[in-house]
Amino acid sequence: MQRGLSLILFVLLLPAITRSQTTVSIPAYTAYAVPPEQSTEEDESKMFSVKDGLHNWTDDKQQVHFYFKIRNTGMLNLFLKLRTNIRVGNLTASIAGKNFTVKVPESSEFKLVKIGSLDIKDTGFYNLVLYQTMENKVFNKKALLSSSFPVIADIRSLELSGPAAKKIHFNAKQRRNSASVHLLYPLPDSVKVVSFYNEITIPEGADVLHSYYMACGFARGYFGIQVNSATERRVIFSVWDAGNEAVDRKKVADENKVQLIAKGEDVFADDFGNEGTGGHSHWVYNWKAGDTYKFLVAAVTDTASNTTTYTGYFFLPELQKWKLIAAFKAPKDGKPLRKLYSFVENFWGANGQLNRKAYFGNQWIRKESGEWKELTTSTFSYDATGKAGDRIDYGGGAEGNKFYLWNGGFKNANAQFKDSFTRTANGERPLIDLYKNADSLAEAGKENEIILTEIKEGKFDTTGSRNGVYYKILEEGNGDYVTLNDTLVVRYKGQLLNGFVFDQTKEKPAVFPLKRLIKGWQTGLPFCRQGGKIRLIMPSASAYSIRNLGTIPPNSILIFDVEVLEIKKLH
C-alpha cells in the first residue's frame, strides 16, 4: 500500500515539476526575414503580424531569424509551434554552429515540434536561423495543383525551456526597429547659439537600408543623411510646427505652421506628419560610406514676430562647396538654437536586426557674439524602445576626436543612459564660405532671367550693367566718381524684389568704407558721382548669396537706391 501511495504521489508531482521548469515563448512576429519581406501600401509587413505570426513564407531563398539573449548556462530545449496546409518539406534550424532538421506538420492547427537541445556554455546573444534547402523538400501533388506558391511554414512561436531559458531576453513587441540612440551636447541656457556645425562619417558596411544618421538636431528640427532604398539616398532637413498635433498637418492652424522661405536647386520640399508635423525638405544625393560630410544649421531670430528662421547647409566634398538645402520660418519661437543633439535611427523594422553606426566629429557652435566654441562633451541616451528594455543592443562613446553611436546587430550594449563622453579637441574652427556654393551657376542663370524679365516688362529702367549688377543713374552728381578705396557718406533704401523694405537710413546718413560692403555695391557705386543718386539691382551672388539674414532670405535679388552725399578719399 505504501509503495502504491508513493507512485501516485510521484505521478501527481510530475506535472508540477515539469511546469516549474522555465519556459519562454518568443512570438514569431518578432523574427526577421532575410532578405527582408515586402510591405503593404499601409506599410504593414506581408509576413509578420501579431494575429498570424509568421505567414506567407513562400520563398525558399528567404531565411527566418530569431534573436534572443541567454543569461544562464545549461541545457536549452528548442521547439517551434508551426503548421502548413500543403507540406513541401522540412526545415533546417541552425544555432550555435549546430544544425537540426525540423519536420513541418501538414495541419490546419499549430503543432509543437521539437527542434533539439543545446548545452549552453556561454551567455550572450544567440541567433536561430530557419531555412529550407533542396534536400529538405518533399514531393506533394497538392503543391502542383495549387494556384499559388505553397507556404513553407506558418510559425506561431519559438518555445524555449531548460535552465538556460531562465531570464532570457528578447523583444516581445511587434515593433522590430532597433532602439534610436542619441548624443546630447550640453550647453548652459545662457549661451545664445546662432550656428551649429557637425561632421558625420558612416563606416563601410554600416550604411544599411532604412537608416537615418542625424548630425544637427535642435529643439525645432533635425538635419542629416538617410538610406531610403537600395537606389536612393538623401540629405534631409526638417523643422517642426508649433502646437501639439502629432499626425495630420491638415489639422494644424496656419499660425502654427512653419513656412518654407527658400530651398536649394533640385531640393524637394513638402509637409510631414505622423511624428509631429512640420516642413520637410530633402535632396537626393548618393553619399558614400567612409567619406566625411559636413552640416551647418543657422538660426535667425525675430523677437517682434516671435519667429526663428532655421537654414540647413550641406557641404559637398567632391566640389568643396556648400549647398543650401532649405530655410524654414518657425512660428511661436523667437529663440536661438537650443537642445543640440545627434542620433542614429532605424526607421523601418524589417531589417532592425542589422548593425548601424556613425561617427560624429568636430562639433562647433557660433554664439550670438560671433565667437565660435568647440563642443567636446556629450551625453548618451536612447528612445522609448531602449527605455522599455525591448532592445538592449546599443551603444556609443568617444574614439580620439570623434564621438560614435551604434544600434542593432544584437550585440552587448557598451553604454548606459546618461553616460557622459569626452572627445579630443581639434582646436580649429570650421571655415565656412557660402558665396561660392554648389548652386551658384544655376542660381545665377535663374536670377539673371528674372531681372531681364523685370526690365523687359518695364518694372525697372537701367543705364547699364557690370558683372550681373544692373544700375540706373537716378540723378547725376557733380563731384568725383566713387572709387573702391573710398569711405562713403550715404542715404539708402534696400528692398526685395517684391517691394519689401528690409533696411534704410533714418534721420542720419550712414558712413561705410566701400571695401567692407557687399560685392554689388562695390560693382555698381563707381558709376555714381558725389551728389548723385543711383539704383542698383543685384543678383544674390553679388549680395548675400545663400546666407539667411532673416529679413533677407537666401538667394534674394536686392534693389538699393543710394544717394552719395560725400566721398572721403583715402590719404
pLDDT exceeds 70 at position 4 = no
Average pLDDT in the chain: 92
Separation between Cα atoms, residue 207 and residue 227, nearest integer Å: 7
Question: Looking at residue 85, what is its pLDDT?
Answer: 86
CATH of the domain at 257: 2.60.120
Question: Looking at residue 149, what is its pLDDT?
Answer: 66
Q: Determine contact, residues 235/263, Cβ cutoff 8 Å.
A: no
CA contacts within 13 A on the Cβ side of 78: 27
Question: Looking at residue 5, what is its pLDDT?
Answer: 42
Pick the range with the lowest mean pLDDT from 10-24, 103-117, 531-545: 10-24
Model confidence at 10, pLDDT cuts 50, 70, 90, reads very low
Number of domains the chain is built from: 3
Question: Looking at residue 16, what is its pLDDT?
Answer: 40
Say yes or no: 384 and 492 in one domain. no
Residue 429 is assigned to a structural domain of this protein: no
Say yes or no: 400 and 484 in one domain. no
Question: Looking at residue 41, what is its pLDDT?
Answer: 79
Question: Looking at residue 261, what is its pLDDT?
Answer: 96
Say yes or no: 206 and 117 in one domain. no
pLDDT exceeds 60 at position 517 = yes
- Residue environment code for 213-245, b if the CB has 16+ CB neighbours within 10 A, otherwise e: bbbbbbebbbbbbbbbeeeebbbbbbbbbbbeb
Structural domain that includes position 54: 23-165
Q: Find the farthest-apart pair of alpha carbons in the chain and give their distance in angstroms, rounded.
A: 134
Alpha carbon distances (Å) from 164 to 18, 22, 68, 122, 466? 15, 9, 12, 10, 81
Q: What is the pTM of this model?
A: 0.91
> What's the rounded mean pLDDT across residues 357-371?
97
Residue 3 is assigned to a structural domain of this protein: no
pLDDT exceeds 70 at position 144 = no
pLDDT exceeds 90 at position 237 = yes
pLDDT exceeds 50 at position 200 = yes
Pick the range with the lowest mean pLDDT from 238-242, 460-464, 467-471: 460-464
Separation between Cα atoms, residue 314 and residue 267, nearest integer Å: 12
Say yes or no: 244 and 337 in one domain. yes
Residue 36 is assigned to a structural domain of this protein: yes
